[in-house]
Amino acid sequence: MMTEIRKIVLPGEVLGDLKENKPSYGTFEENGKIISKFLGIPKESRGYMSVIPLSGVYVPKRQDKVIGFITDVEKFGWIVDINSPWQAFLSLSEAVDEFIDFKKTDISRFYDVGDIIYAQVVDKKRGDIQLSMKNPMARKLRDGVTVKITPSKVPRLIGKEGSMINTIKEKTKTIIRVGQNGVVWLSGEKVEKAIKAIKMIDEKSHIIGLTDEITKLLSD
Partner 1 sequence: MGMKPKEKMIVKGKRLDGRKPDEIREIEMKVGVIPNANGSAQVRFGRTVAIAAVYGPRPLFPKHRQESDTAIIQCRYNMAPFSVEERIRPGPSRREVEISKVTRLALEPALFLEEYPETVVDVYIEIIQADGSTRVTGINAASLALADAGVPMRDLVVALSGGKIDGTTIIDLCGKEDNYSVADIPLAFLPRKGEITLLQMDGQLTPDEMKTIIKNVIKAGKKVYEKQKEALRKKYQE
CA distances in angstroms from 178 to 164, 184, 203, listed in the order given: 12, 5, 17
Stretch that binds partner 1, among 56-64, 97-105, 109-117, 178-186 (CB under 8 A): 56-64
Say if residues 146 and 116 touch (Cβ distance below 8 Å): yes
- 28 forms part of the interface with partner 1 (CB under 8 A): yes
- What is the 3-state composition of the chain as percent helix, strand, coil, each rounded to the nearest 5? 25, 35, 40
Task: With residue 56 as reference, give the H or E element that holds it.
Answer: none
* Binding characters for partner 1, 62-81, by CB under 8 A (x = yes): --------------------
Stretch that binds partner 1, among 2-10, 104-112, 163-171, 176-184 (CB under 8 A): 2-10
- Of 103, 205, 199, 207, which Cα lies nearest the Cα of 217? 199
Q: Which of 152, 174, 180, 181 binds partner 1 (CB under 8 A)?
A: 152
Q: In the complex, which residues of this chain contact partner 1 (CB under 8 A)?
A: 3, 5, 8, 10-12, 14, 26, 28, 35, 37-39, 53-57, 59, 85-87, 126-127, 150, 152, 206
